[in-house]
Amino acid sequence: MTSLKKTIVACSLLAASVFVAVPAASAAPAVVAPSVAGLPDFADIVDRTGPGVVNIRTTERVRNGGQVQGGIDDPEMQEFFRRFFGIPIPRQQQPGTPRGNGKQGGQSQQEEVPRGVGSGFIISADGFILTNAHVVDGASDVYVTLTDKREFKAKIVGADTRTDVAVLKIDGSNLPRLAMGDSDKIRAGEWVLAIGSPFGLENTVTAGIVSAKARDTGDYLPLIQTDVAVNPGNSGGPLINLKGEVIGINSQIYSRSGGFMGISFAVPIDEALRVADQLKASGRVTRGRIGVQIGEVTKDVAESLGLARAQGALVQRVEPDGPAAKAGLEAGDIILKYNGAPIERPSDLPRMVGATKPGAKATVNIWRKGSARDVSVAVVELEADKPKQAEEKKAKPDNTPNALGLIVSDLSDAQKKELKADNGVLVEAASGAAAAAGIRPGDVVQRLNDVDIRDAKQFNQLVAKLDAKKRAAVLIRRGDSSQFVPLRPNGGN
């Protein structure tokens, strides 16, 4: 009811701004004032683009009489509902004609039950359609309905979960297609509109502005942020500019309630089309990788290591025998450039590497021990994520903490072999600034500023010589990951 009241108020204000009254002394009838400058009329755009937007419904084949999970009460489905727009319909057994390979005579049969609904749009007159991967994920059958009520059974050409892009194909000709825009040229503040099927309500139009161009909400895509009202069912629908061109695919929302809260995200159409081209060609997307786990370079770490500013991607882990390891990259290196392109944020690197064709050579510029150098790395094809390694062993505290609040011991040969580490010392206990920074027993100290740590005696001697007025960069390894932790001796601020 509250949202309805707000809608009514907004409409009333808009009406008041459009019409003006003539003074009572005049006998002339009331006239309509010109439109307020800066407020676009979306009606013509909707007339042109609406026919190219489709409704997508998916079904699942289940055995008749079998219990099906996944209703709205299912916690996993609630999480799906909160994050995405493909509104899931509770999968309960529906009356109807059994389908599939069901057998008669009292044995189990298969029937088609609703799974979810979403949106999509036609990109070619012969029936190729773009939508989100999560809209068709797990579907047995996909049905596409046009605005003229024609319904087609669609084939899933391919889907890429990393970018949340899917390509469908229906059999048709001279279908209404949408024009593609250039998502690189969008500007924050420009008007955009979305067309889709929120909550299954087909051909619903909402409008707003671009809030930000490149939000880092995914590994391989900087998403477009808008304030366009989108809700469950809008997923896969187009984000359209004032020229009537598609600049994005509505994909995600930020929500604590499952409904629209003023922030929505769209996949940039330039990236989506690159993915779609690969899906149409081979049904899958090929990406490159170099075998590193990366993290952020904070201002404190940059100052401690002599970098002019916080930039690049910190190498936290190098995959054993991977391309980066073979090229000589190490944990603690900071990747500043990839093939000459600067790495401003850690999220830049996986996008650049992912866009590189497997088998190619890439030049990586790294910062190590106070100087920059170029390293040539062979790019290989991205594989499935490997399972996490077991947690590190923990040790009992002993002795007196040094100026950084750490008690350390030498690594045994067995520990070095287990950790695959040639150097470093084991943290037995952490207190003061070290504990406050998150260092804990079982961590391994590999480097202090630009000096590799060989043993506990050397480490404590180096700590004793630190300037209490300056932060020191301590390279900490935990499990398979390494991270610089800035610490000031004796817990200073």
Euclidean distance between CA atoms 179 and 130, whole angstroms? 13
242, 124 Cβ separation under 8 angstroms: no
Count each helix (H run) and each strand (E run) in the chain, helices first: 11, 27
Instruction: State the DSSP code for 282.
Output: H
97, 118 Cβ separation under 8 angstroms: no
Catalytic residue among 119, 134, 137, 443: 134
Instruction: State the DSSP code for 327.
Output: H
Catalytic residue among 119, 137, 160, 164: 164
Active site residue 164: yes
CB-count exposure of residue 467 (10 Å: 0-12, 13-18, 19+): exposed
From residue 421, alpha-carbon distances to 205, 213, 320, 454 in Å are 58, 42, 11, 11
DSSP string for residues in 95-149: -S--BSS--STTS--EEEEEEEEEEEEE-STT-EEEE-HHHHTT-SEEEEE-TTS
Euclidean distance between CA atoms 80 and 350, whole angstroms? 25
Nearest to 380 by CA among 287, 282, 279: 287
Active site residue 410: no
Residue 363: CB atoms within 10 A of its CB come to 12
121, 56 Cβ separation under 8 angstroms: no
Active site residue 385: no
From residue 82, alpha-carbon distances to 78, 132, 236 in Å are 6, 16, 16
Catalytic residue among 235, 264, 304, 347: 235
Kindly provide the b/e burial profile for residues 288-298, where b requires at least 16 CB atoms within 10 angstroms of the residue's own CB: bbbbbbbbebb
Euclidean distance between CA atoms 426 and 404, whole angstroms? 14
Euclidean distance between CA atoms 402 and 405, whole angstroms? 5
CB-count exposure of residue 135 (10 Å: 0-12, 13-18, 19+): buried
Nearest to 251 by CA among 355, 90, 133: 133
156, 136 Cβ separation under 8 angstroms: yes
Amino acid type, 15? A
Runs of H (alpha helix) within 218-328: 269-282, 299-305, 323-327
The structure tokens 């011991």 sit at 409
- Catalytic residue numbers read 134, 164, 235
